Chains A and B, each alone.
Chain A
Amino acid sequence: GQNIDQPTEMTATEGAIVQINCTYQTSGFNGLFWYQQHAGEAPTFLSYNVLDGLEEKGRFSSFLSRSKGYSYLLLKELQMKDSASYLCAAMDSNYQLIWGAGTKLIIKP
């Protein structure tokens, strides 16, 4: 079956770095998406990886290893506003997104 695994909750300190991991199993693979979702709001797009390696976008970076079925989202210089859920979603061979349950990130001062 198709499955996405990511930690339920993580805590980090303002100004620090945090890495949110995601492993996936899908029928075929057409890329890996990360979305940010603040409480009570809609998911907003953060990144898309389809090739192995690291993509950097400001304070946020996303990494993909297709051979390991593994991705991570790296957040640097954490700010209080980064407190949110981070959703990992893999696109299968039918171009359907398979969503994880999300990782709730708590930032402490």
Chain B
Amino acid sequence: EAGVAQSPRYKIIEKRQSVAFWCNPISGHATLYWYQQILGQGPKLLIQFQNNGVVDDSQLPKDRFSAERLKGVDSTLKIQPAKLEDSAVYLCASSLGGEGGHTDTQYFGPGTRLTVL
């Protein structure tokens, strides 16, 4: 079974530029998560989708970050414009999910390491 795919793996941009990350979850997984992980810290949830609807985006800096999952499968996360403090690894995860709350295990992709100069 294929795992969670993410691209690109690495990205270097200058501050105020834009960047987009792509994620393809495990086939059949209804729930998709985007996390930000700063070095030495645990993952911080940015946004959670169930199918193509947003479940939680309370920690997403909406003035610069946006995310979509139009067909309930792939997802993109965009930052526009980027700031120095956005340098981090952006992890995508998916779980079986479905309606209502679930204790399903989250499976992570390899992440995108973003460096903002």
Which residues of A are interface residues toward B (Cβ below 8 A)? 4, 30-31, 33, 40-45, 48, 50, 87, 89, 91, 94-97, 99-102
Interface residue? B25 (CB, 8 A): no
Name the prevailing secondary structure of the A interface residues.
Answer: loop
Give the chain B neighbours of A100 by CB distance below 8 A. Answer: 42
Give the chain A neighbours of B109 by CB distance below 8 A. Answer: 42
Say which size band chain B's interface belongs to.
20 to 34
Chain A residue with the shortest CB-CB distance to B104: A95
Minimum CB–CB distance from A70 to chain B (whole Å) comes to: 18
A101–B43 Cα distance when bound, in Å, is 8
Minimum CB–CB distance from A25 to chain B (whole Å) comes to: 15
Cβ B42 vs Cβ A94 within 8 A: no
Cβ B42 vs Cβ A30 within 8 A: no
Residues 32-49 of B at the A interface (beta carbon under 8 Å): 40-45, 48
Minimum CB–CB distance from A97 to chain B (whole Å) comes to: 7
